Structure 1
C-alpha cells in the first residue's frame, strides 16, 4: 500500500501491508509533516497523523491517549501514566474510522462514550465525553505532560514547594509562599483555555462550553498542575470540591488539546466561536447540532447598579449556560442552548438578584422584554447606618480576598487575619478579613457609634456569606450584654473551600434583630459588635469551621 494513502487499513497480512504499517509508525521519530493525513495501527494503538505537525496514539485496549508527538518531540506522559479520562478506563471497545478530512476514534466503556477527532492539517485533538449515568467514574480529562517541558513557578505549581502543609496537595516554599494545583485563580467564566508556552511550543486545553458541567459561571476548579515530576492540564467534567449543584449527565465537548508555535490557541476553537458542523454526521452519542439548539435574548435589564458587571445564567437539571449583560443597557444573548425550560438568574457580580423561567425551542430565539430587578432584591439598596463592603456575592475588597484565590491562608503574603475594625476609619472594608475561622480569628470586634435617636431603637444586623466550611456560621455579641441565638447552618458544600482557592458556595444572609436595650446609652461611646464562628465540626487552624464574608451592615 503506498505511503501516501490517506486511509490505511489495519491488521494487514501481506509483507507490503506490513511495510506500510511500519511507515505509519515512522513519523513518531521524524517530523510529522513527513507523512500525509491518515491513520494506522501499530498493534497496540491507533496512530493518527494530522498531516500538520502532530502525531498521536490512542490505546486500542482502554482508550488512553498514549503519545502526543509535536514536531518530532514527545510531550505526553509522566510516571508511566497516560492521558485519559479520570484515572483511566478498563478494557474498552475502541474503533476508528475516517470521514473525508476527519478521523474519529470511538471508545466504549460500560455506559461511557469517549471520542477523539482529528482534522486534516490541524495540530488539535478534539475530545467529547458522554457520561450517561453515575455508574462510571469520569469527572475529568487530564493531559499528562512530560517533566521539564513547561517548568514554572506559578500558584498552581509545586515544583519549588517541598513542604506539605495540607492534605496531599498544598505545599509551602522555603520563602513562605504556597503552591497547589487548586490555585488557578480563575472562575469558569474567566477563561477559554489553559496551558503553557515555552521554547516556541504552546500546549493548551481549550475548554468546552461546560453545558453538562455543574456549578455555574463563577465556579472554580483545578485547571492544571506542574511539578518536577511532570505537568497536567485538565478539562473538569464534574468537580465535587465546593460544588453547589448535582452532577449533570450527557455529552460534554468538544474540548480541544491544541498545540501552537508558542502563541495562544486560535480563537476559532473557543467555546463561543467553535464551528463543529463537520461533526454533525459522525454519529457521536448525544450530539446535538446547531440546528437543534436555540437562543435566548434579552432586550435589557433595568434596576441595575451600573458599577457592577451583570451575568445572566440559565440552568436546569440537564444543562447550564450563561452570558454577560451589556454595560450600557443590560442586553444579553445566550446561544447554542439545548431545548428545554430553564431557571433564568440575573447576577449582580456573583449575587443572584432576580430569577425567572424561560423556555428554549430548537432553531428558535426566545426574546425577553426588559427584566426589572426589584429594588428589594439587591440588599445594597436597604438604608444602612453603616456597611462594611458592598453586596455582590463575593468577599472582594476585604483583607486578603484577592490572594485567597491563589494561595493558602497561611501564605507569607497574607496580612494578619486578626485585627479589629472601626466604623468611620475609612478602612473598614480593607481591614476586615475576608474569611473568619473558629480557631483563627473568631471574635473579631467592630466598633461603631450611634446617634441618640439610633440608640433608642432596635436595628437589624445583616451578615452575608458566600460559603462555609464545616458548618461555620456567625454568632454575634453586642456590647457584651446581648448575645444572638446560634443560627442554623444553611446548605453549603461539605468539602474544603477556603484553603483551596474557592469562596464560592451558596450565598446566604444571616439577620439578627438587635434590641434597643443592647446599645450603649451614651452617643459618644463606641458600641462593640463581636463576631464569632460557631460549629461543632471542623478540626484546627485553617481547617476549623469557617466562613467567607460578602458584606456586613446595620440597617436604619
Structure 2
C-alpha cells in the first residue's frame, strides 16, 4: 500500500508493554506471492533462501547481500517499503551468504568483509534470531532496521512522524498541523527501560526484542531511536552503535541475539527478553564470536549502604569490550549481574543516573564474584553537602525542572512546552518548576535567580555548584553574582552531536564549581542577591541549535 491517499485504520500500539489504545480494527495486508512450505525447512528460489519455521512465519534472505527480503506471517507480507529491505545499517554490499540446518535450527550466515551477520530460525517458532559481529569501522554504525509495509500498523506515539508534514530540524524532526512535534528520535525510553519495541493490531503483533547490549555503547541510560512511521512505511530498530550522542567509543564483537518476533496480538514472550533468553541451541552453530553460558560469569553484591532510598540505584559493569547492568534491590541494595564475559570491569553504582561509587571487579568464566556490602561515602553524593539553597535534585537528570518530562519525546519548540524564559526566586516554593531544564545561548541565556542571605552568610565566601548532564556545541555556564563575574570555565567532554533537540539529555554528568568571594554579596540582607547564568561557547548556530546545556541541580553551599 502506498502512503499517499489512504489513512491507516487506527488500532492499538505497544512499546514495552504499555499501550496507546485506539479502536482495534484489523487491516489485512497484501497476500504473499509464494506458497508456504508444509513444514520446517528451507528452499532456494534462485535469489533467496526461503525459510519456513513450521509455525506461521516464512522469511527470505537474499543470497546476494544478506538482506531480509520477505516476512510473511499468516499469509501477509510485512517486510519492505520504498523498494527497501530489512538489513544491517543501510544494507550491505555483495556478500557471501550460506545456509545450514542443524536439527531444529536453521542458520543463515552472511559475510561482508570483516562483518559477520546471522539469521536463525527455530522449528515451531514465529521468531527470527539475529546476530551481528562487527570487527572494525568498515561499517559505520551498528543498526538493524526491520522495514514494515505502510498501513499494517498505526503508531501515533511521539516517535512517529506519520501525518507530520512540516520539517522543523534537519530531515528528521517534524511538526503536525497543531504544532506538536514528532521524530523517530522521540522514543522516551532509555536502554534500561524496555525489552522490546513494536506494534500490534490486537490480532497481530510485530516486535524487535532487544539484545542484552553487551557490545553496545552508552550504558543503561542511553537513548536512541527505536521505531518510526511515515506514509511510506514503518521501521523497527536495534541500535547498538549509532554515533549520535554517544558517551563511549564503540565496542566490537558479536552483538545479539536480538529477535524479530511475531505474535497473535499480545506482547512477546518474556523468555525472549534480555536476561532471560537462553540460546544453548546455538552453542554448536559456529557463530563467530559466540560465547556460551558456560564461558560467562556473574557478579553479585550482598548490598549497598549509604543509599538515599528515595531513588532507584543501578549497578553497571563496563570495560572497552563489554557492558552490563542490573538494578539494586530497594530494600537493601542487593544486586546480581549475570552472563558477563570474563575480564576486569569498572563497577559503577548510580543514584538515579548519577555515578556515586566506582571500583574494579574481575569476572571469571563459570564462577560468581561475590562482593561484600558496598558503602557509598557520604561525600560521593553531592546531595549530602549542606547548602544555603538548592534547586533540583542531584540524581544525574533534569527531572523536576521546567519542561524536563516533555523533552524526551518532543522538540523544544513544541507548543506543549512552557516558556523557556522566566526567572527564579528562592523561597517561592516553585524553584525547580520555574527553572528550565535546558538553557541555550540563543534562546534563554541570562536566566536570573534571586535569593537573600543572612548577615553571617553574606560575610563569607561560598561555593556555587552547577551540575549538568550534557551540552551541545560546548555550551557551559558562566555566572554573574551581582557585579562579580566568574571566569569562563573550560568545556567538559561531551558528545559532539545533537542531543537536546532529539530527545536526550544523556551525556557526561559534570559539576561546575564557582568560588564566589564574600565581596560579591549584598551587605543589605533585605535585598535580593541576583545570580545570572549565561551559556557561553564559540560554537553552535542559532535558536535551539545554539550552544546549550542540560541541568541536573544547582546549589549554594553553606
TM-score interval for Structure 1 and Structure 2 normalised by the shorter chain:
over 0.9
1:132 to 121, 135, 139: 135
Deviation, 1:319, is 0.1
Deviation, 1:143, is 0.2
Residue in structure 2 matched with residue 486 of structure 1 by the alignment: 488
**Cα shift readout 1:352-405 (whole Å, capped 9, x = no counterpart):** 000000000000000000100000000000000000011000000000001000
2:529 to 509, 527, 530: 527
Q: Residues of 2 paired with 1:187 and 1:138: CA distance?
A: 19
Tell me whether 1:309 sits opposite 2:325 in the alignment. no
Confirm or deny: 8 A CA contact 2:161 2:184 kept in the other structure: yes
Residue in structure 1 matched with residue 395 of structure 2 by the alignment: 392
Confirm or deny: 8 A CA contact 1:161 1:173 kept in the other structure: yes
Superposed, which structure 2 residues align to 1:117-516 within 5 Å?
117-479=120-482, 481-516=483-518
SS of aligned partner of 1:237: strand
Residue in structure 2 matched with residue 69 of structure 1 by the alignment: 72
Query: Which has the larger displacement, 398-407 or 127-136?
Result: 127-136
Q: Residues of 1 paired with 2:102 and 2:498: CA distance?
A: 46
Q: Residues of 2 paired with 1:31 and 1:552: CA distance?
A: 65
Confirm or deny: 8 A CA contact 1:131 1:138 kept in the other structure: no
Q: Residues of 1 paired with 2:515 and 2:102: CA distance?
A: 68
Q: Residues of 2 paired with 1:228 and 1:272: CA distance?
A: 36
SS of aligned partner of 1:454: helix
Q: Residues of 2 paired with 1:100 and 1:392: CA distance?
A: 51
Query: Which has the larger displacement, 268-277 or 146-155?
Result: 146-155
**Cα shift readout 1:283-320 (whole Å, capped 9, x = no counterpart):** 00000000000000000001000000000000000000
Confirm or deny: 8 A CA contact 1:133 1:249 kept in the other structure: yes
Larger Rg: 1
Deviation, 1:106, is 0.4
Tell me whether 1:101 sits opposite 2:104 in the alignment. yes
Q: Residues of 1 paired with 2:465 and 2:557: CA distance?
A: 8
The runs of 4+ residues in structure 1 deviating greater than 4 Å are 27-32
Q: Residues of 1 paired with 2:46 and 2:138: CA distance?
A: 30
Confirm or deny: 8 A CA contact 1:449 1:525 kept in the other structure: yes
Deviation, 1:137, is 3.0
Confirm or deny: 8 A CA contact 2:202 2:266 kept in the other structure: no
Q: Residues of 2 paired with 1:390 and 1:69: CA distance?
A: 50
**Cα shift readout 1:76-132 (whole Å, capped 9, x = no counterpart):** 000000000001111111000100110000001100000000000000000000001
**Cα shift readout 1:3-62 (whole Å, capped 9, x = no counterpart):** xxxxxxxxxxxxxxxxxxxxxxxx945785x61001000000000000000000000000
Q: TM-score, normalised by structure 2?
A: 0.94
Confirm or deny: 8 A CA contact 1:296 1:360 kept in the other structure: yes
Residue in structure 1 matched with residue 539 of structure 2 by the alignment: 537
Confirm or deny: 8 A CA contact 2:155 2:199 kept in the other structure: no
Ranges in structure 1 where 5+ consecutive residues have no aligned partner: 1-26
Superposed, which structure 2 residues align to 1:19-58 within 5 Å?
28-29=32-33, 32=36, 35-58=38-61
Deviation, 1:139, is 1.2
Confirm or deny: 8 A CA contact 1:151 1:227 kept in the other structure: no
Q: Residues of 2 paired with 1:349 and 1:38: CA distance?
A: 48
SS of aligned partner of 1:278: helix
Deviation, 1:239, is 1.6
Confirm or deny: 8 A CA contact 1:394 1:549 kept in the other structure: yes
Q: Residues of 2 paired with 1:186 and 1:141: CA distance?
A: 18
Q: Residues of 2 paired with 1:517 and 1:30: CA distance?
A: 82
Residue in structure 1 matched with residue 554 of structure 2 by the alignment: 552
Residue in structure 1 matched with residue 13 of structure 2 by the alignment: none
What is the alpha-carbon root mean square deviation over aligned residues? 1.0
**Cα shift readout 1:333-363 (whole Å, capped 9, x = no counterpart):** 0000000000000000000000000000000
Residue in structure 2 matched with residue 20 of structure 1 by the alignment: none
Q: Residues of 2 paired with 1:237 and 1:143: CA distance?
A: 14
Q: TM-score, normalised by structure 1?
A: 0.94
Deviation, 1:279, is 0.3
Q: Residues of 2 paired with 1:517 and 1:47: CA distance?
A: 78
Confirm or deny: 8 A CA contact 1:110 1:136 kept in the other structure: no
Deviation, 1:466, is 0.1
